[in-house]
Structure 1
Amino acid sequence: MRSFRCSCGNRVYFENDRCLACGRDLAFDPTVLDLRVMDGSMGRCAHHAYPKTCNWLVTEGDAFCKACSLNEVIPDLSDARRVRLYYEVEKSKRRLLFTLLELGLPVEGRLDRADGLAFRILADARLDESDTDFAAHDEVTTGHAQGEITINLLEADPRLREQMRLAMNESYRTLLGHFRHESGHYYWQRLVAHGDGIAAFRARFGDERRHYQDSLDAYYRDGPPPNWQDEYVVAYASSHPLEDFAECWSHYLHMVDTLQTAADRGLAVGDVRFTDPLNAPAAFPQIIDQWRALAPSMNDLNRSMGLDDAYPFTLTEAIVGKLGFVHETVASAARPAAAAGSRVDRTGPANP
């Protein structure tokens, strides 16, 4: 993600609703993808007042912003801990939406179209083992079905999420990663399933008509194939072509968002100076070359701090080919202005 500035010149951050330097009230404007100083003509999302999980502006006449209006179900928030966890979920969801909008991808809800995007944020009994009053769902599975992305609230609890990561033998598990992965299923359905790219998809990933549940059952029973690392970015991607695509989609979003941050901060590794792939569309080989320079450096920085690798994955040529398919899918679906190199008009009304 790129950085933002208050009208006073102070750096502010995506989740901020006030500038700590000058005290001005701020809100994120999804029409220009920027933080703006509030004035009397602007309206905040209703979720800014309670549960204080949103800092986005609304369209005149609406109660909820573009991000909150995509929610079909949210959990019971009468418990303070759940409000804190829900805030973390919403923070990751908004970061996903920011990247999708920067890429020029269609982000439309069920009120806009029948196959629009929707979110269900649910909690299950594992989150509140000592308090059955909240256990509305015995077990919630994070996933996607027909445009609905379901996220289990317990994924926002670092302790519980780490337990699941270890149980699943995963090297990476984050809320943002979940949102990116599940959005891959949605955009496969929206952009690939019935489009001209389905034959190219099957050539790269395999035939998605293979029985999905049988494939997952076989994966959990038998594990990934030998030498899966040659073809798949993570073991789970080997379970079914749709999971392979969703994983590659999420990794593409990891890459372009992180490269944007590196470019925004003016970082360089050796003679490689990073460029913003979200606002200065680049050829895919350039994105890969820059990522191969940046990712090991991020890992080295983390190791210097005693942390796990930021990007513990290896990109073989087969995986790069799949990422290239994702890149072409995104490029072909981007709004015309985005494809031409101007993702969004950020001029808007001048801040006071």
Structure 2
Amino acid sequence: YTDFVAGIAVCNLGHAHPGVSKALSSQAETLFHVSNLYYTVPQAKLAVWLVENSFADKVFFCNSGAEANEAAFKLARRYFKEKGEKDRYRIIAMEKSFHGRTIATLSATGQEKIRTGFEPVLEGFDFVPFNDIKTLKDKMGAKTCAVIMEPVQGEGGVRCPDPGYLAEVRRLCDETGSLLIFDEVQTGIGRTGKLFAYEHFGVEPDIMTLAKALANGLPIGAMLAREDVASAFGPGSHASTFGGTPVISAASLEVLKIISEENIIDHCREVGEYFKERLLWLKTGHRSVLDVRGIGLLLGMKLKIPGKPVVKKCLAEGFLINCVQENILRFIPPLIIEKSQIDSLVACLDKIL
């Protein structure tokens, strides 16, 4: 198979990358695990790399994107409790968002199908439409502690922000003293043609969450924050037994080194533009294609018809693709995908459509 799903935006370096495999096995022969009561070299080096290449000053490691978002919720609430603003606990999220499947993160997810069957969900989350700054402004109140959003919605249908929208969200948060949380679990680690998607828009968050591609398929999550916000997590306020364990941290550090040293992000940007052009070509020839959108190698093609039968037909032809929101084909291949492989998929889609 040619994989245009990459473990749902996870395997940015493809499958079984030799450099990652070597880093993993080497560390496994040295030290597998100790408690986070102690520092370890791989974890420290990984934290330094993330801080030096982002807006953040501190990193908290965990095991998944959902855990990273849980940590972000706790930190946002704790931050205001530490400041004496005990009634500021509500978090505004976006409609059609996706932040995880734990009880807290599904409560923050703006999709009823994710929440159905698990009611009552947790109280304290409000929802507004993505790209609607007026409704966000009206919703923000004295009890709002944070706004959480994906810079580009993935599960919600590959929805990009309108020009200036994220800057306006940042301005509103600054005016009200609320924290801005970017969930970059899917968009981070080069997926959009920048290391982090927020870089496209010139807007920095107060807190950011990462996971998925951070270790190319191994379980890791991270919450990054500015020092003044991160300091609200004092000793004993939050923890994770396996967060940033030496083996996973060593593999993650190697992933980041490869991405930065081998021009993977530049390649992503170049082939992403090419891929989008090829999908737009499909749109010109097929009335069943309504829209093409996305950035980098996070692309979507909206259809007039259900997407699942197309996914199944592609599978039969040897291509793994994905469908979200019933009729949007999502393409999230490894960042090392080549133009020739994109051409082969487009030819397959042309035939199917």
TM bucket (normalised to shorter chain) is under 0.3
In the superposition, the TM-score normalised over structure 2's length comes to 0.26
In the superposition, the TM-score normalised over structure 1's length comes to 0.26
- Structure number with greater CO (CA < 8 Å, separation at least 6) is 2
